[in-house]
Amino acid sequence: MTEKLCLLLFETAYERIGRRLEKFASMVEFCRMTKDGEIHTDTGTVDAESFDPNLAWLSMDLMYHGKVPDFVSLVTGSDELQWVQTANAGLDNPVYGRIAATGTRLSNSDAQALPIAEYVMAHVLSFFQDIEGRRQAQRDSKWRYRPFREVSGTRWLIIGFGNIGQRIAARARPFEAQIVGVRQSGASHPAADEIVTQSDMLAQLPQADVVVLACPITPETEGMADANFFSAMKEGSVLVNIARGDLIDDEALLAGLAQDRPAHAVLDAFSTEPLPKEHAFWSHSKVALTAHTSNAGSGLLARGDDLFVDNLAKYLAGKPLLNEVDMAAAFPGVGKAK
């Protein structure tokens, strides 16, 4: 009989989907990390120092309970690690470099793409429709005529056209918006009317009514939203950042807002998190900010569970994995997949 693979996951994730995993029980032993950091298997508690998992699921549960560092230490210390599924879309956290250095296969997540797309649409519509102004008129008992801006006919520049960018495009297009995507490959995509590369990005900004930052943070993208970026933006446009705070030069954005380039900024990610209470964004009349929670939709956990179960089945069957990361491209020079 073939020896079972050891899969490490957090106990609350196992409690949620344990029954769905029973069909893999002949091939997999489910090893659960508890909230106290212990490792439990079907036969008892395992010594963490001698523990060598083969597979691991870095689920949202670990982030909620502050156990990511402990979990990552366990998996990166394993000589037998073969594959990790993460709940994250972005891989800029140093823990992923540590995982890459082990030569392990890695799959990221697209579970957050749907709520992030809805978040973007909600905020753009709120600004275009002047929802806050309408509510203020109601509070003031004022019967006011308030014209609003339509999404139809607007041009959207979505910088980063992966799973998240494509979901945003799929929601804006039915409103009859024109979509221009920015992606590294420059390859066309059915969700976009046009695809350009980052080298053509500045030339696109003067025509864009909505600019969405949905790209990973890399040496090429860090700080790209600088003074030149904002001076090129269309007057009256909207900027939405649901990616990483370090994409934006904060002082350059404040200067751009003063010139209505953009006229409104929706910010869900910041260079320093939590955002310091004294930061100018908190009280700025042209800024709507949230605490890096654009992904916090009601279906996030369920989609993450579905992705993991589906990918586990594919892994065990030797089939291509969903969202498998090109480790050589994502972590050049760090390690080669086993």
261 is catalytic: no
Choice among 171, 194, 292, 324 that is catalytic: 292
Rounded CA gap, 225 and 229, in Å? 5
Considering 167, 244, 264, 303, which one is annotated as catalytic?
244
Q: Is 80 a known active-site residue?
A: no
Cα(41)–Cα(299) distance, integer angstroms: 29
Smallest CA-to-CA distance from 157 within 146, 147, 145, 172 is with 172
Of the residues 15, 80, 176, 273, only one is catalytic, namely: 273
65 is catalytic: no
Alpha helices, DSSP H, located in the chain: 11-21, 60-64, 68-76, 94-101, 113-129, 131-139, 163-172, 201-204, 227-232, 250-258, 300-317, 327-330
Inter-residue long-range contacts of 177-180, CB under 8 Å, 24+ positions, other chains counted: 177/151, 177/152, 177/153, 177/210, 178/153, 178/154, 180/155, 180/156, 180/204, 180/208
Packing angle, helices 113-129 and 163-172, rounded to 10: 40
Please give the positions annotated as active site: 244, 273, 292
